[in-house]
Amino acid sequence: MEHNTTSMFDPLQRHPVHVIAVVLAMVLVGLIVTQSRPDTAVAPPQEGLVQFRPQQGRFVKTSSGYMVPYTMKIPGSDVTFTMVPVPGGQFKMGSPESERGRAASEGPQVLVEVGPFWMSAHEVTWAEFQQYMALHDIFRAFDAKGIRPVTDDRQIDAITAPSKLYDPDTTYESGDDPRQPAVMMTQYAAKQYTKWLSALTEQFYRLPSEAEWEYACRAGAVGAFHFGNDTSMLADYGWYDGNSEGYSHEVGEKKPNPWGLFDMHGNVAEWVLDEYTKDGYEGIKNESGPVRDVIKWPTVAFPRVVRGGSFEMKSEQCRSAARLGSDNDEWKSDDPNLPASPWWLTTAPATGVGFRILRPLRVPQNPEARERFWKADVDAIAEDVEFRIRDQDSGAIGIVDKELPAAIKSLNQK
């Protein structure tokens, strides 16, 4: 990664012929890289990717150009979100034996390599998530009027919108201020949010893998936290049980890590893609070199991994390597529905569970590969979703594409 260095003389600006040569070289390098990874493609040079070295601010140099921070408005709204670039690299995932204590699931340490990506500067807020929640009534209105039907050939373009909240007082225990982190959604709902946002913006957003999350949190550091091992410094960087007064706080109030990411330690714990297993990373050890693009794809509905700790947790539960498995019996114990909601959790500690989003530089080429990051990945979840929408009149399904905001506007004008 290169930092915000500036130069009084930039040869790219002085010699147009050289500029053309450099651009052509970048294009050729991009083609070579893409051909060597047939399952992926370089993201189009739209948001956050520029061809010439920025003169100020953070950036990440890649063979495809310079990744820079960007802020994007959610189409059809005034709500924005900010993404920051994270360089690719290698790191040791997990905690050393001396730090692990009783948390056997944090080891053994494994050398992992991840590619470059953008990550949201902070957790998804209520301002952002409520745009997605609003689709419940919109999709039902579309269905009643026969607008934008979900036909068989458009299933892959459809998402499900979450049911109405069973107990808003619990969900909004810390308030519903637009800058508060959204909480109590299931991992499935978080994944559907990323599919919705991807279709609206025509960019590829998803949850981070566990490896990507820890790599981004550490920001090159090897200690218990991205700032080292001194727990007395945690209050400068995050909200935990020692300073939160029992509530989450607005995002971005504490110091960021060196890569510009806020609230990686505490505030709310964050969903990642992976299944949680008690043996940790035992199954992915690779003695010959780093493990690449590692994701433990879930095979059961529970437990899944959340990372980062929350305002309700002790400092050791907010470490870079700390991980927690979701618990169906505990986290949904107050849900009166049968089956329980596939979109919402109802019970603490889920009051401190949210998520943040990631956009990789390289994206899967085909829709089916992208869909793997968004769909209900086990039969039990898929069946619960179908049953709730079809038989319980709860939740909704609809088509999401770049035409959706205009369709919503037209609906509201009738």
Q: CB–CB of 127/178 below 8 Å?
A: yes
> Residue 300 belongs to what H/E stretch?
none
Q: What pLDDT, in 10s, does the model give residues 238-254?
A: 999 999 999 999 999 99
Rounded-to-integer distance, Cα 239 and Cα 236, Å: 9
What is the reported pLDDT for 46? 74
Pick from 210, 239, 245, 235: which is nearest to 322 by CA? 210
Burial of 128 (0-12, 13-18, 19+ CB in 10 A): buried
| Percent of the chain whose predicted confidence (pLDDT) is above 70 | 88
pLDDT at 51 over 90: yes
Q: What pLDDT, in 10s, does the model give residues 134-187?
A: 999 999 999 999 999 999 999 999 999 999 998 999 999 999 999 999 999 999
Q: What is the CA radius of gyration of the chain?
A: 22
Rounded-to-integer distance, Cα 309 and Cα 322, Å: 7
Q: What is the largest CA-CA distance in the chain?
A: 69
> Residue 96 belongs to what H/E stretch?
none
Sequence-distant (6+) residues with CB within 8 A of 322 are: 95, 103, 106, 307, 308, 309, 316
3-state secondary structure 121-168: CCCCEHHHHHHHHCHHHHHHHHHHHCCCCCCHHHHHHEEEECCCCCCH
pLDDT at 20 over 50: no
Rounded-to-integer distance, Cα 224 and Cα 346, Å: 31
Q: What pLDDT, in 10s, does the model give residues 334-376?
A: 998 888 999 999 999 999 999 999 999 999 989 999 999 999 9
| Domains of the chain as residue ranges with CATH | 1-66 (no CATH), 69-413 (3.90.1580.10)
What is the reported pLDDT for 287? 82
Rounded-to-integer distance, Cα 315 and Cα 55, Å: 39
Neighbour-count burial for 147-184, b at 16+ CB within 10 Å, e otherwise: bbebeeeeeebbbbbbbebbeeebbbbbeeeeebbbbb
Residue type, 328: N
Neighbour-count burial for 301-330, b at 16+ CB within 10 Å, e otherwise: bbbbbbbbbbbbbebebbbbbbbbebbbee
Instruction: Output the pTM of the full model.
Output: 0.89
Q: How distant, in Å, are the alpha carbons of 142, 148, 149, 213 from that of 375? A: 22, 20, 19, 20
What is the reported pLDDT for 371? 97
For residues 278-296, average pLDDT: 91
pLDDT at 11 over 90: no
For residues 291-320, average pLDDT: 96
pLDDT band at 13 (very low <50, low <70, confident <90, very high): very low
Rounded-to-integer distance, Cα 297 and Cα 206, Å: 14
Here the contacts of 23-28 (C-beta below 8 Å, separation 24 or greater) are 23/51, 26/51, 26/63, 26/64, 26/65
List strand residue ranges (DSSP E) for 276-349, in order: 291-292, 304-307, 323-325
pLDDT at 34 over 80: no
Rounded-to-integer distance, Cα 225 and Cα 219, Å: 10
State whether residue 178 is helix, strand or coil.
coil
pLDDT at 28 over 70: no
